[in-house]
Amino acid sequence: MRKHPQTHETHMNIENAQVQMRKGILEFCILHVISRGEVYASDMLDELTSARIMVVEGTLYPLLTRLKNAGLLDYKWVESSSGPPRKYYVLTDDGKQFLTAMQETWLDLADSVQTIIRKTNDAIQTQKTS
């Protein structure tokens, strides 16, 4: 059964654009937070929220599972004095290496976007003075 005609219906609003922009960067940010020392999911949620990077459970848990399966993370169960046990995560050696590579990617990307923005500003200046 064929799908709808190719309407490309979208939710092209700024909220959705923000969601799209965050994609892929979450992974980087989470590795960063874990790199500082053992943390469990709620710690990460707090950390990221305080840095204004919105992330929810339904995103975080599958992501942690993927990173664990990829060998970038390891965890141990730790009893809590007030509730169920928690999974405390740490980076593996592969994870540390991966984080370094991602940081380079991020810095390159941020630089590239800065280049785009600057070129636009240059173009506007040229228009004004001509």
Which residues sit at the interface with a copy of itself, rule CB under 8 A? Answer: 5-10, 12, 14, 17-25, 27-29, 32-33, 35-37, 48, 51-53, 62, 65-67, 69-72, 98, 101-103, 105-106, 108-110, 112-113, 115-117, 119-120, 123-124
Q: Which is nearer to DNA, 58 or 127 (CB)?
A: 58
Q: Which is nearer to a copy of itself, 13 or 82 (CB)?
A: 13
| Least distance in angstroms from the C-beta of 82 to a copy of itself | 22
Q: Is 108 in the site for DNA (CB under 7 A)?
A: no
The neighbour count for residue 99, using CB atoms within 10 Å, is 19
Strand partners, 117: none
Q: State the binding partner of 4 from a copy of itself, DNA, none, CB within 5 to 8 A by kind.
A: DNA
Pairing label, strands 83-91, 73-80:
antiparallel
Q: Any idea what DSSP says for residue 61?
A: H
The tokens 């630089």 sit on which residue? 111
Question: Phi, psi at residue 11, to the nearest 5°?
Answer: -105, 75
Q: Which helix (H) or strand (E) holds 71?
A: none
Q: Which is nearer to DNA, 24 or 122 (CB)?
A: 24
Q: State the binding partner of 87 from DNA, a copy of itself, none, CB within 5 to 8 A by kind.
A: DNA
* Residue pair 87/75 in contact by the 8 Å Cβ criterion: yes
